[in-house]
Amino acid sequence: MGLIAQPLGWLLTQLHNIVGSYGITLVIVTVIVKLALYPLYKKQIMATAGMTDLQPRMQELQRKYANDKETLNLKMQELYKEEGFNPMGGCLPMVVQMIIIMGLFALLRNPMTYISSEEMYFAIHENFLWIRDLSQPDLWVLPLMAGAATFFSTWLSRQTNPNPQNFNAMMKMMMYFFPIMIVWLARSYPSGLAIYWFMSQFIQIFFNLRFNKLRKDIREKNKTVKKKKKKVVGGAN
């Protein structure tokens, strides 16, 4: 993670030199990273939206060719080609996002491992709002804020899914378990890391609201295209 954490550490140092507050610097870095990742989030959403629209036809093919895997694969490829869908389209954005997020997590968990500035050694111990030392955990307020933001972001993600009924029991359980885990982790790690997570999920809430509209637009566009195709086929007959 050093290849990602060190450049982020340099950015953190430069911004702190300008801003002069470690807490505010963490907020700014989080905003920069989230906005930089937005195109990847959007690409991933478009890919998953396309997959959702194809689900009924894919399930039909799976039932029809359940005992013939070779034919099933061929039919699936034909379906993807017909609809112009790339099943791997959402994987690369997800991988890039995870690498950057893991690098940022590593940096904020142990800042001085990736930052050589002596000034930053003192900066990570600064106070911010009600937090006396950003290098130490905040036991309740910030963890609860991070957990609440995580839950609401996850809940919105489920609501913006065109088929929320497809969420299985495990995914529903994770919607409640993950925020609880975040509260526990935020009570165990430096407050700076909890600030990043809270701000990240807070911004993600607005992303999910935007993605809700994006998914709706994609579905409407796909419906329009399908209607036009049916008219063309009907007219040809």
Rounded to two decimals, the pTM is: 0.78
Domain ranges of the chain: 2-236
pLDDT at 106: 87
Of residues 221 and 138, more confidently modeled: 138
Q: Which amino acid is at 84?
A: G
Percent of residues, the chain, with pLDDT higher than 90: 36
Cα distance between residue 71 and residue 84, in whole Å:
20
Percent of residues, the chain, with pLDDT higher than 70: 80
Q: What share of the chain is helix, strand, coil (3-state, %, to 5)?
A: 80, 0, 20
DSSP assignments along 83-114, one per residue: HT--TTTTHHHHHHHHHHHHHHHHHHHSHHHH
pLDDT at 167: 55
Q: Which amino acid is at 111?
A: P
Place of tokens 């709002």: 129
Q: At residue 92, does pLDDT exceed 70?
A: no
Query: Taking the CB of residue 148, how many other CB atoms lie within 10 A of it?
Result: 16
Query: Taking the CB of residue 59, how many other CB atoms lie within 10 A of it?
Result: 10
pLDDT digits (tens, 9 = 90+) for 21-52: 999 999 999 999 899 888 888 877 777 666 66
Question: Between helices 141-159 and 169-186, what is the axis angle to 10°?
Answer: 160
DSSP assignments along 187-212, one per residue: TTS-HHHHHHHHHHHHHHHHHHHHHH
Q: Which of 45-49, 66-70, 71-75, 201-205 has the highest mean pLDDT?
A: 201-205
CA distances from 143 to 101, 107, 132, 146, 199 (A): 19, 19, 15, 5, 12
11-15 CB contacts, 8 Å cutoff, 24+ apart:
12/107, 12/111, 12/115, 12/120, 13/115, 13/117, 13/119, 13/120
pLDDT digits (tens, 9 = 90+) for 123-139: 999 999 999 999 999 99
Instruction: Look at 93-97, 148-152, 205-209 and tell me which has the smallest mean pLDDT.
Output: 93-97
In whole numbers, what is the pLDDT of the chain averaged over residues? 82
pLDDT at 134: 93
